[in-house]
Amino acid sequence: MSEKENSFKKLWDEIHRYLELNIEYAKLTGAEKITVLAAAMATSVIVGVLAILIFFFISIACVHWLGMVISMALAYTIMAAVYVVLLVVAWLFRRQLIVDPIAKFISKLFLR
C-alpha cells in the first residue's frame, strides 16, 4: 500500500506543480499583455498630442496665409468650416477609423 500511496503522492505533487506553473504562466502572460497595452496607449497619447500641436500650428499658418488674401475674420471662419467638415467625416466614419482598429488591436493582443 505504501507504494500506491507514494505514487498517488507523486501524482498529486506533479498536478500541484503543473497548476502552479500554469498560474505563474498566466500571470506573466497577463503582465506582458498589460504592458504592451499600456505602452501602446502611452505612445498613442504622445503621438496624439504632437499631432494636435502640429495641426494647430499648420492651421494658424493657413489662417495667416488666407488672411493676406481675404479678411482675417473670413479666414478664421473658413478654417472653422474645415474643422467642422473634418469632425463630421470623423463622426460618420468613427467605426472604421476608431472603433474597429482599437477592437482589433485589443482582441489580437489578448486572444493570441
So where are the chain's domains?
2-111
Enter the C-alpha cell of residue 5.
Answer: 500511496
The Cα–Cα gap between 52 and 55 comes to 5
Q: Residue 83 has what pLDDT?
A: 93
| pLDDT score at 1 | 55
- How far is the CA of 37 from the CAs of 2, 14, 51, 79, 105, in angstroms? 52, 34, 21, 35, 9
Position with higher pLDDT, 4 vs 13: 13
Cα dist from 13 to 7, 18, 26, whole Å: 10, 8, 20
What's this model's pTM, rounded to 2 decimal places? 0.64
Task: Look at the block and give the residue holding cell 502611452.
Answer: 42
Does the pLDDT at position 89 exceed 70? yes
Query: Residue 103 is placed in which grid cell?
Result: 477592437
pLDDT tops 70 at residue 53: yes
